[in-house]
């Protein structure tokens, strides 16, 4: 059950503007891939653009993960108990999804 009762302070809160900018650029890149296909561009060039979008998304994810570890997970660990265990297991599962996607 996604955690919505948590205070809205997130690890990424201080970088929200930067993430908004990066995601807008990624959105534009995806539109660019669609336009390349619409314009019958050469397959390899379309694939090169998709690899670039993948890498940009990956670095957004790694940034969010780093901030999550340093904020939400660290706070839970500092308090100890079951919540720390839960947050650590949750982070490891997110890392596994990222490694396998």
Q: Given phi > 0 = left and psi -120 to 50 = alpha, else beta, which region is 10?
A: beta
- State the minimum distance, in angstroms, from the CB of residue 65 to a second copy: 6
Match 């955690």 to its residue by tokens: 3
The verdict on 81 binding a second copy (CB under 8 A) reads no
Q: What is the DSSP letter of 15?
A: G
Q: What is the DSSP letter of 87?
A: H
Q: Which x/- pattern, by CB under 8 A, does the window 16-35 give for a second copy?
A: x--xx--xx-xx--xx-xx-
The verdict on 55 binding a second copy (CB under 8 A) reads yes
The verdict on 14 binding a second copy (CB under 8 A) reads no
The verdict on 86 binding a second copy (CB under 8 A) reads no
Judged by CB under 8 A, which of 37, 81, 82, 83 binds a second copy? 37
Q: Given phi > 0 = left and psi -120 to 50 = alpha, else beta, which region is 6?
A: beta
The verdict on 83 binding a second copy (CB under 8 A) reads no
């Amino acid at each position: 059950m996604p955690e919505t009762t948590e205070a809205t302070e997130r690890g990424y809160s201080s970088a929200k503007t930067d993430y908004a900018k990066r995601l807008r650029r990624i959105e534009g890149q995806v539109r660019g891939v669609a336009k390349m296909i619409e314009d019958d561009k050469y397959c390899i060039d379309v694939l090169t653009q998709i690899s670039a979008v993948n890498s940009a998304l990956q670095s957004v994810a790694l940034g969010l993960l780093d901030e999550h570890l340093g904020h939400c997970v660290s706070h839970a660990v500092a308090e100890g108990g079951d919540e720390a265990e839960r947050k650590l297991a949750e982070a490891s599962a997110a890392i596994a999804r990222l490694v396998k996607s």
